[in-house]
Amino acid sequence: MSLKTYKPFTPSRRYMTGYDFSDLTVSKPHKPLTTFIKSKAGRNNKWKITVRHRWWWHKRQYRIIDFRWYDKLNIPATVATIEYDPFRTCRIALLHYIDWEKRYVLARKNISVWDKILTWDEATLKPWNRKQLKDVPDWFSVFNLEVTPYSKWKLVRSAWSFATVTWKDEENNLVYVKLQSWEVRKFHDTCYATIWIVWNDEHKNIVIGKAWRSRRLWRRPVVRWKVMNPVDHPHWWWEWATDLAMNPKSFKWRAVSPGMKTRKKKKWSDKFIVTKRKTRFK
């Protein structure tokens, strides 16, 4: 896969880049696995903006991705097509199972048609097989991580992302995994993960070039806080507050101002956090 450039007919075209889509095998999705999601431009049922910097433009067909493979344990599948997903930064692949069922999954690096995949504890350690963390060797790259055993894939799903298995605690049935934020978390060793890296490494090199292209991607402009009117910023109350230490909350979104901890005490996921220090592991 490579990027394409454009002739500089306009100043915005000079540095603009885009996909050449040479890695795709088909141009249209599998229709039974698609649905339509209507854009509301970040507005709720009262037509009030609840998510900022959203817009509507092109209609998109949402590809239904299979984020659970537990009903397909020990059932081999074959890659039929490699497709584009407008809702994701990575590529997706259509799998054909031997029981004649078809499903979409996230594509891994250097995927090709007719590749075989398997989700099973006794599957081989080849890219894209899905295994439990206790069966993955140390320093292997994985993606599609689960937070709790036998749940939905939630972590490491964007383009060119991966996590690294660092070490295992067999006594407590825990596996320590380093995420891309360099944060090390511990997971239960029965959590499943897919071996290798998410595809589409060229996504980081895309240059949007002009504002209208962002509008077509359902994005509205983001204004710097320095040039905002005071009432348009979540911390506007700072301008006339006399004692920030006594009442550090803002009025508009009820958001706690910077410098104060926002994480709830005794949250259930705290037991998974090991450290947030950005330290490299040798």
Q: Convert the pLDDT of each residue in 169-224 to its tens digit.
A: 999 899 999 999 888 889 999 999 999 999 999 999 999 999 999 998 889 999 88
Whether 164 and 275 share a structural domain: no
Q: What is the CATH number of the domain that holds 139?
A: 2.40.50.140
Number of domain units in the chain: 2
Whether 189 and 271 share a structural domain: no
Whether 140 and 244 share a structural domain: no
Q: Convert the pLDDT of each residue in 95-153 to its tens digit.
A: 999 999 999 999 999 999 999 999 888 889 988 899 999 999 999 999 999 998 988 88
- For 170, the domain range is 3-204
Whether 70 and 13 share a structural domain: yes
* Burial grade of 171 (CB within 10 A; 0-12, 13-18, 19 or more): exposed
Quick one: which H or E segment has residue 186?
strand 184-188
Whether 254 and 177 share a structural domain: no
- CA dihedral 245→250→256→257, nearest 10 degrees, is -60
Hunting for tokens 């490491």 — which residue is that? Answer: 156
Spatial CB neighbours of 259, under 8 Å, sequence gap ≥ 6: 248
Whether 86 and 142 share a structural domain: yes
Whether 124 and 250 share a structural domain: no
Asked if the structure places residue 67 within a domain, the reply is yes
Whether 136 and 197 share a structural domain: yes
Of 176, 204, 232, which residue is a domain's last?
A: 204
Whether 239 and 107 share a structural domain: no
Whether 37 and 149 share a structural domain: yes
Q: How confident is the model at residue 238 (pLDDT cuts 50, 70, 90)?
A: low
Hunting for tokens 């698609």 — which residue is that? Answer: 34
Report the alpha-carbon distance of residue 195 to residue 205 in Å, rounded.
25
Report the alpha-carbon distance of residue 210 to residue 38 in Å, rounded.
25
